């Protein structure tokens, strides 16, 4: 047997791998503190679970035809109400998580050799999905000093031959959020370079301090025809295991993604869609999400303050999502707990093996100076993990 060249070039997701390793160690009785997974530690709100359980009890166990009309309708209303985006039902597709929406979009948009602008650091799955479609990643480098943000100039300079820009705000792994004004300038540059933009807005509700969220396509009416808005329920409603997301954009693109899905997956799980419908229609949803956001804000501030107090650790303050992405490279070329640390991979290995702290190395995000810590875990675990990290770095 010989695997395809295409799949041979794919790296397994580092975020998933670290999380799996931490869970395995926990199952073996080792007290690992996991800052690995980009996954809220909260349970899914009860009203969402009840809606799915009721759907199961009522026999909602068949293939969902025509992409679940009721949920699509609720998503159209949500996008109009909360995001100032006017989509029609044929402009929305429900997918198996935001990750699947992005994958289907890459398959539907990218031809071999097409160039895709990707702000770096980036979430680990974007380059792999671009490569799987035969596209070429054109990284747009950012620096912590500039808050890990790209400028319109970079789009104008890099965009002449590119077809697509992928934007993710609030961002994984950096935790930064573009202001509506910055997004409007990025939109103007994308229009000037005739780029299609995939706007991954999965962390839209998890924003902190004075931060304001805006949907990219709402900021310039010319963006509607050149933007795919991607979102999902995993982060907002603590529904990572439900695998539900969606994309909204030009009907032709959405139709193409549905054609792909008709052979690839069919429509997402029937009773999970019933839960998602409750998430977008139940009047108590806003309150439940806000309670989780407030808690995450406290944890994020605490983790940021503690990390910033460690010598040789420099962190950009997170304004969204649930990640700190500190530069720890001052500790490279040292021995930590007996492990020779030369880069983010060996740093993460030392943290896991020597003090049982799981964190994700920056290298697969395109920034080897940094490591990623998720603060979607309890205050007590955050303190325990950071105490251990401090001991390692002393």
Binding of ligand GLU at residue 168 (CB under 6 A)? no
By beta-carbon proximity to ligand PMP, the closer residue of 124 and 357 is 124
The dihedrals phi and psi of 20, each to the nearest 5 degrees, come to -65, -40
Token pair listed for 289: 């999400």
The Cα angle at residue 203 between residues 197 and 209, in degrees rounded to 5: 115
Token pair listed for 259: 């054609």
**Of how many residues is the chain composed?**
394
Q: Select the span of 27-35, 36-44, 65-73, 154-162 touching ligand GLU (CB under 6 A).
A: 36-44
The span from the CA of 197 to the CA of 186, in Å, is 10
Binding of ligand GLU at residue 23 (CB under 6 A)? no
Pick what 13 binds: ligand GLU, ligand PMP, none; C-beta below 5 to 8 Å, kind-dependent.
ligand GLU
Burial category of 275 from C-beta neighbours within 10 Å (exposed 0-12, middle 13-18, buried 19 and up): buried
Q: Which of 32, 38, 232, 352 binds ligand GLU (CB under 6 A)?
A: 38
The span from the CA of 299 to the CA of 383, in Å, is 10
Instruction: Quickly count: other Cβ atoms within 10 Å of residue 229's Cβ.
Output: 27
Task: Compute CA 75 distance to the chain's CA centroid, rounded to the nearest angstrom.
Answer: 19
Q: Select the span of 67-75, 80-88, 232-240, 331-339 touching ligand PMP (CB under 6 A).
A: 232-240
Binding mask 24-63 for ligand PMP (x = CB under 6 A): --------------x-------------------------
The span from the CA of 139 to the CA of 190, in Å, is 15
Binding mask 85-104 for ligand PMP (x = CB under 6 A): ------------xxx-----
DSSP H or E segment with residue 227: strand 227-232
By beta-carbon proximity to ligand PMP, the closer residue of 171 and 356 is 171
Strand blocks (E) in 261-374: 323-324, 334-336, 339-341, 357-358, 360-361, 371-374
Binding of ligand PMP at residue 240 (CB under 6 A)? yes
The span from the CA of 180 to the CA of 182, in Å, is 6
SS3 325: coil
User: Residue of minimal CB distance from ligand PMP?
Assistant: 97
By beta-carbon proximity to ligand PMP, the closer residue of 244 and 382 is 244
Binding of ligand GLU at residue 144 (CB under 6 A)? no
By beta-carbon proximity to ligand PMP, the closer residue of 99 and 115 is 99
Pick what 245 binds: ligand PMP, ligand GLU, none; C-beta below 5 to 8 Å, kind-dependent.
ligand PMP
Binding of ligand GLU at residue 37 (CB under 6 A)? yes
Binding of ligand GLU at residue 13 (CB under 6 A)? yes
DSSP string, 243-254: --EEEE--HHHH
Which residues bind to ligand PMP, rule: CB under 6 A?
38, 97-99, 123, 168, 172, 200, 202, 232, 234, 240, 245
Residues in the site for ligand GLU, rule: CB under 6 A? Answer: 13, 15-16, 37-39, 99, 123-125, 172
């Amino acid at each position: 047997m010989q695997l395809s060249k295409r799949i041979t070039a794919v790296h397994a997701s580092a975020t998933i791998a670290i999380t799996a390793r931490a869970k395995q160690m926990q199952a073996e009785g080792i007290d690992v503190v996991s800052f690995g997974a980009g996954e809220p530690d909260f349970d899914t709100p009860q009203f969402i679970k009840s809606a799915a359980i009721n759907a199961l009890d009522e026999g909602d166990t068949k293939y969902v035809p025509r992409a679940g009309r009721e949920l699509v309708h609720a998503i159209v209303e949500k996008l109009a109400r909360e995001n100032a985006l006017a989509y029609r039902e044929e402009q929305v597709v429900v997918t198996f998580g935001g990750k699947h929406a992005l994958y289907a979009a890459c398959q539907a948009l990218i031809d071999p050799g097409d160039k895709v602008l990707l702000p770096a650091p980036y979430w680990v799955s974007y380059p792999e999905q671009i490569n799987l479609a035969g596209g070429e990643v054109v990284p747009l480098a950012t620096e912590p000093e500039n808050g890990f943000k790209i400028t319109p100039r970079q789009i104008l300079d890099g965009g002449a031959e590119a077809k697509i820009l992928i934007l993710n705000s609030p961002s994984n792994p950096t935790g930064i959020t573009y202001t509506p004004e910055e997004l409007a300038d990025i939109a103007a540059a994308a229009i000037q370079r005739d780029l299609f933009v995939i706007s991954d807005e999965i962390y839209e509700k998890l924003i902190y301090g004075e931060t304001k969220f805006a949907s990219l396509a709402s900021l310039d009416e010319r963006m509607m025809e050149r933007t795919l808005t991607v979102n999902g329920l995993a982060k907002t409603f603590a529904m990572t295991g439900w695998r539900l997301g969606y994309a909204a954009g030009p009907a032709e693109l959405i139709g193409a993604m549905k054609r792909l899905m008709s052979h690839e997956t069919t429509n997402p799980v029937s009773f999970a869609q019933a839960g998602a419908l409750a998430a977008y229609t139940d009047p108590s949803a806003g309150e439940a999400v806000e309670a989780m956001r407030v808690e995450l804000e406290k944890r994020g501030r605490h983790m940021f303050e503690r990390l910033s107090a460690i010598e040789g650790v420099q962190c950009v303050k997170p304004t969204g999502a649930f990640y700190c992405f500190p530069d720890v490279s001052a500790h490279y070329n040292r021995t930590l707990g007996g492990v020779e640390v030369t880069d983010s991979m060996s740093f993460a290995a030392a943290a896991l093996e020597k003090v049982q702290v799981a964190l994700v190395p920056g290298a697969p995000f395109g920034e080897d100076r940094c490591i990623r810590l998720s603060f979607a875990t309890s205050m007590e675990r955050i303190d325990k993990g950071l105490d251990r990290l401090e001991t390692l770095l002393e």
